[in-house]
């Protein structure tokens, strides 16, 4: 398949997602302001229980970062993972499978489109949260922050492409499992508290979730002295692990997509068998 054709496919899928998600201005408003309600709950809990201003600022930094990154996790889970399953239920999957392009190109376009919209909403959450709740960020290394952010997103969207294949192959079973694990993922990833306090064995398992290491590293870079003390691993080590997870999830996604297509050709089950 030509590179030009695949790039045009990526552009087409990203274009539709960017325009579609912003065609109704009320969606932009609700996607920007409603996540702040969940963030506010933890902000006021910490304000009611913590007296030290520096400790409080570190915890609130974690809360705001967690609230912004939650948008990426939800986009990966539903915008990426469930997409092929949605298309199968709507009868459009045949068109995707017959298209003379790579399935990775299709999902990459969806990822870029979703990434554009989600990044805008995540930045809005950070800016509004810091202004409303009076949080100050102590940025120590812009380059490390960019490296952590992009490696976390790469690993997350690789995981999303992997989910797309699993959702399609296993149907409602994978759907129910993802619903079941949604809140535990929020807990294990340390969205609203330092994940180090979960204990060694739990944290070891949680480290396979890219958000766990990504949030911990970003908090160390932005949260000040206490964030460094409560950090799980040194930032450089977490960047290295995120790079490994990025490669691992992308390779697993490529293998899962190839297996999905082969199974579909062999059994004829992807578009004809309803779960």
Domain ranges (residues) in the chain: 3-267
Q: Which of 2-16, 32-46, 49-63, 165-179 has the lowest mean pLDDT?
A: 165-179
What are the backbone angles phi and psi of residue 180, rounded to the nearest 5°? -65, -35
Angle between helices 210-222 and 235-267 (to 10 degrees): 150
- The Cα–Cα gap between 86 and 202 comes to 33
Q: Which of 9-13, 91-95, 250-254, 257-261 has the lowest mean pLDDT?
A: 91-95
CA-based torsion, 275, 160, 91, 6: positive or negative? negative
Q: What are the C-alpha distances in Å from 174 to residues 110, 130, 205, 243? A: 20, 37, 20, 27
Burial label for 245, CB within 10 Å (0-12, 13-18, 19+), is buried
Give the pLDDT mean for 22-45.
77
**Closest Cα to residue 132, out of 35, 249, 272, 206?**
35
**Cβ(193)–Cβ(59) under 8 Å?**
yes
Position 22 confidence tier, pLDDT thresholds 50, 70, 90: low
**Closest Cα to residue 76, out of 216, 209, 270?**
209
**Closest Cα to residue 178, out of 85, 255, 244?**
85
Q: What is the pTM of this model?
A: 0.82
The pLDDT assigned to 275 comes to 44
> Which residue is associated with the tokens 């990833």?
189
- The Cα–Cα gap between 169 and 164 comes to 9
Two structure tokens written together for 148? 């952590």
**Cβ(217)–Cβ(235) under 8 Å?**
yes
Three-state DSSP at 234 gives: coil
Q: What is the mean pLDDT of the chain?
A: 81
Two structure tokens written together for 34? 């409603």
Give the pLDDT mean for 139-145.
89
């Amino acid at each position: 398949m030509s590179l030009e054709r695949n790039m045009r496919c990526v552009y087409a899928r990203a274009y539709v997602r960017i325009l579609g998600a912003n065609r109704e201005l009320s969606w932009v408003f609700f996607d920007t302001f409603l996540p702040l309600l969940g963030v506010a709950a933890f902000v006021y809990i910490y304000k009611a229980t913590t007296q030290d201003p520096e400790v409080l600022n570190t915890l609130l930094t974690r809360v705001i970062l967690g609230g912004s990154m939650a948008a990426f996790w939800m986009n990966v889970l539903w915008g990426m993972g469930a997409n092929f399953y949605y298309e199968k239920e709507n009868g459009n999957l045949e068109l995707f499978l017959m298209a003379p392009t790579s399935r990775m190109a299709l999902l990459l376009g969806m990822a870029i489109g979703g990434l554009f919209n989600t990044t805008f909403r995540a930045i809005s959450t950070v800016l509004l949260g810091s202004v409303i709740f009076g949080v100050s960020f102590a940025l120590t290394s812009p380059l490390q922050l960019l490296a952590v952010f992009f490696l976390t997103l790469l690993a997350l969207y690789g995981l999303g492409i992997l989910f797309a294949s699993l959702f399609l192959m296993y149907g409602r079973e994978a759907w129910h499992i993802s619903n079941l694990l949604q809140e535990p993922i929020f807990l294990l990833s340390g969205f609203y508290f330092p994940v180090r306090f979960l204990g060694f064995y739990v944290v070891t398992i949680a480290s396979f979730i890219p958000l766990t290491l990504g949030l911990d590293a970003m908090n160390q870079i932005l949260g000040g002295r206490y964030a460094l003390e409560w950090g799980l691993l040194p930032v450089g080590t977490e960047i290295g692990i995120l790079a490994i997870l990025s490669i691992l999830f992308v390779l697993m996604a490529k293998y899962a997509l190839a297996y999905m297509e082969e199974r579909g050709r062999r059994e004829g089950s992807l578009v004809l068998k309803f779960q």
